[in-house]
Structure 1
Amino acid sequence: MVAACLEPDAVLSEIARSADIHVSQPFRWRKALPTASTPTVPTPVSRPRKKCSMVTIELGGGRCIRVESDVDIEALERILDVVERR
């Protein structure tokens, strides 16, 4: 019955009468439930960015890598492994 109330061409008062419920109930259901025309979108959570600085890693032979101080450690390890093999 609730699904029938959400149909675009539904006559809510007729649905209520056929189910022997108060006429206002289908209107409350429609208002309370989201529909395809009004999708619910999660609200992005804004997180304060912490200040980060650049870190320079001297590799020798005139090579260096610059990364932000909040770099993902596992990713940095993989990068360093690749660079050291060359």
Structure 2
Amino acid sequence: APQFDYTNGIMTKCDFCQSQIQEGREPCCVEACPTHALLFGDYDELIALHGKKGIIAPLPSPEITCPNLVIVPPKQDKLPDYNKGLIQNPEEVKDE
């Protein structure tokens, strides 16, 4: 999420904690996640472990967005029907 850096007077956004990665650690969000729901690593390795499971409503189809993340729903959940998702703010959806 974008944040205002008051020290430098500029907007910044997540860089996956590059300083931690350079130290051989994972990003803060991954280290801090109490349910271990976040993983960080090479995209191809994550796909090999979890497959392409990113079709989760109301997210757009991966064919449209070409994501660089893997979303793995909880094992007890079923993937919802794509068209049954709810978009909270339709003004943010770009029609093509």
- Structure with a larger share of its residues in helix: 1
Band of TM-score, shorter chain = under 0.3
Which protein has the larger Cα radius of gyration, Structure 1 or Structure 2? 1
